[in-house]
Amino acid sequence: MQFGLFYEWPNPTIRNWKTLFEEGVEQIQYSEEMGFDYCLIAEHHFSNYGNSPAPLMQALYIGQRTKRIKIATGIIVVPIWDPLRLSEEVAVLDNLIDGRFICGVGRGYQPHEFARFGITVPESRQRFSESLDVMIKAWTQDESFTYNGEYVKIPNEVTVWPKPLQKPHPPLWLAGTSIDSMQLAAKWDMMPVTTGLLGGDGMRAHLTSLIHARMDLGKDIHGIELGMQAITHVAPTDEEAREQIEYARWQNRAGRALGRLEVTNGRVDVKPYEGEPDDDRFMERLYFGSPETVIAKFKRAAELGVTHVSCWSMFGGLEHEKIMRSIRLMGEEVIPALKDVHPPTGLEDELAKTSKITQEDLQSARSGPAPSDVPT
């Protein structure tokens, strides 16, 4: 398995942004020292749910302060960007950090953010598909091209320079939990990123959907990579880790409030809600515990097909010192125990024999709330 840290810089108490951001950078630098493979930088706008509005600028800053780890976006909300400008900026970034960039993309999911960019949620799916098509052309074609989509229109011939350092382009990761997303992932050979909040049945359903999508395209189904975002906190004991549950609750409640447009003066209205899981049920979705407990949880994820774990460790205002300790315990005990752990041999063939997954199947398989940064 590979491990990374996921960042969107939540800011419950409206702390100084530079101080908050630099704490994240220090954590990422330490994670490189402790053996992590990558970091993920989210894109969020206009609320304290996540203070990460310039993911490519932030990625460049972090890339200049690290040496080895991959720098990924998790994710760029593609529909709010001009695809030509985005193609250029990604290519420049990949060159400036020596080919260490992973381009995580997604449709986005927050009406609060879309509305302020003049975009609706329903149109975002088609905008995303058209923009991704343009981005691939921009990175891989030396010849000029035009484009005439429903939303993206490039009437004048254009060639984009520079090209990315990585060929044909940086690896593409896709945040998404719909049938359409799995089909796009299959088409463009992207690694889908799901979430531990969906539970085991949900993750298995997403992998099954991806396998069938690749089969429909005549593509190989073996060696598939699957990413999982996991709210993670490692402490010396299970009890001490559990004491941090209220920070995770803030993040979960904040995401729900943002999706319901419960935002005042840029602050999400965080409060308990009807049907909220109790502590025991919520803990089942979290990757909290002692090193031994967290190792066991990640091994179960690998059995479901997960190859990449993005640890969401800065959540809900959790203190910097506790995050640094969690990173240390991950590096000293958890990661070494899991480096050679892989999904079971034959899992893809087993899932290929099952029935095709429908969107209704995906919805019913979820045993938890929709992920915070993965569109449905």
Provide block-wise average pLDDT over 10 residues at a time, the chain (376 residues): 98 97 98 98 97 98 98 97 98 98 95 96 94 98 97 98 98 89 92 86 90 97 95 98 98 95 97 94 95 98 96 98 98 98 97 90 63 38
Single pTM value for the model: 0.94
3-state secondary structure 275-291: CCCCHHHHHHHCEEECH
pLDDT value, residue 369: 44
Say how many C-beta atoms besides its own lie within 10 A of residue 120's C-beta: 11
Residue 239 lies in a domain: yes
Residue type at position 58:
Q
Residue 176, domain CATH: 3.20.20.30
pLDDT value, residue 219: 97
Are β-strands 145-148 and 153-158 bridged in parallel, bridged antiparallel, or unpaired?
antiparallel
Residue 258, helix vs strand vs coil? helix
Cα 319 from chain centroid (whole Å): 22
Distance, in Å, from the CA atom of 217 to the CA atom of 194, rounded to the nearest integer, reads 22
Distance, in Å, from the CA atom of 198 to the CA atom of 221, rounded to the nearest integer, reads 23
Domain of 129 in residue numbering reads as 2-365
Residue 372 lies in a domain: no
pLDDT value, residue 371: 40
Residue 244 lies in a domain: yes
Cα 341 from chain centroid (whole Å): 21
Residue 266 lies in a domain: yes
Q: List the beta bridge partners of residue 101.
A: 71
pLDDT value, residue 199: 79
Residue 279 lies in a domain: yes
- Tokens in use for 245? 């549950």
End-to-end CA distance of the chain: give it in Å, rounded.
26
Distance, in Å, from the CA atom of 74 to the CA atom of 225, rounded to the nearest integer, reads 16
- Tokens in use for 313? 């460790």
Residue 106, helix vs strand vs coil? strand
DSSP 341: -
Residue 376 lies in a domain: no
DSSP 198: G
Residue 166 lies in a domain: yes
Distance, in Å, from the CA atom of 31 to the CA atom of 111, rounded to the nearest integer, reads 33
Residue 370 lies in a domain: no
Closest CA to 24 of 43, 8, 42, 47: 8
Cα 221 from chain centroid (whole Å): 22
Residue type at position 80:
I
Are β-strands 101-106 and 76-77 bridged in parallel, bridged antiparallel, or unpaired?
parallel
Are β-strands 267-268 and 263-264 bridged in parallel, bridged antiparallel, or unpaired?
antiparallel
Distances (CA, A) of 14 to 249, 267, 314, 320: 18, 9, 15, 15
Residue 180, helix vs strand vs coil? helix
Q: Is 240 exposed, middle or buried (0-12, 13-18, 19+ CB in 10 A)?
A: middle
pLDDT value, residue 366: 64
- Tokens in use for 94? 């990949």
Place of tokens 């899992």: 347
Closest CA to 305 of 336, 333, 346: 346
Number of structural domains the chain divides into: 1
